[in-house]
Structure 1
Amino acid sequence: MDDLSCFHDSILNKIEIIWEKGELILFLNIFENNPKECQIIFKNFNDLIISRNLEWGLSDQINEIKYFECSDKLIEFNIEVQSGDNFIFKCEHFILNKFE
């Protein structure tokens, strides 16, 4: 699986769900050597839980993305935003698109 550690401090611009396709898409700006727009497309997602309690204050930056393969061949994600909130879900696979 891809290393998603480069997303620390990236900016979460938009979340999109395409219900019919079962896609969850995150639109982000990442800052490696040069700022880049990117998207992560999570295919056939389920069990989506999103908190927005802003325990650490308002933020649109990613703190960390953790994931592991479940016993049912799905990948479970926990995406923590620097507000202290989380996106927790499972998906079959994901696609990472980086744009110059």
Structure 2
Amino acid sequence: MPAQPHAAAPATAPAVSEDDIAAFVVERFLPGVDPAELDADYDLLATAVIDSLGVLRIAEWLADRHGVAVPDEALTTRGFRSVRAIRITAERAAAGEGRA
């Protein structure tokens, strides 16, 4: 019996970890803080760690470093409020799901 051709596995973008996001946020916006101390749910917007320009910088970093293009409609404060929210936004953007 001839061998069956194997279907190629769908390509997926590499996952963006919360640790990687925290390290970037600390490096750019919270110098001197240990990334391990940044809680994944810490509200980066309410505490003025980032603002709308910070959201754009993070989106640019996601595109440059991880190849994840966050669509304009997903550039919301809700999607960038915390490290966890940024990870979820990046995962949805990588999957082509748009708005977070």
The structure where helix makes up a greater share of residues is: 2
TM range, normalised to the smaller chain?
under 0.3
The structure where strand makes up a greater share of residues is: 1
Determine which structure has more spread, i.e. the larger CA radius of gyration: 2
TM-score normalized by the length of structure 2:
0.26
TM-score normalized by the length of structure 1:
0.26
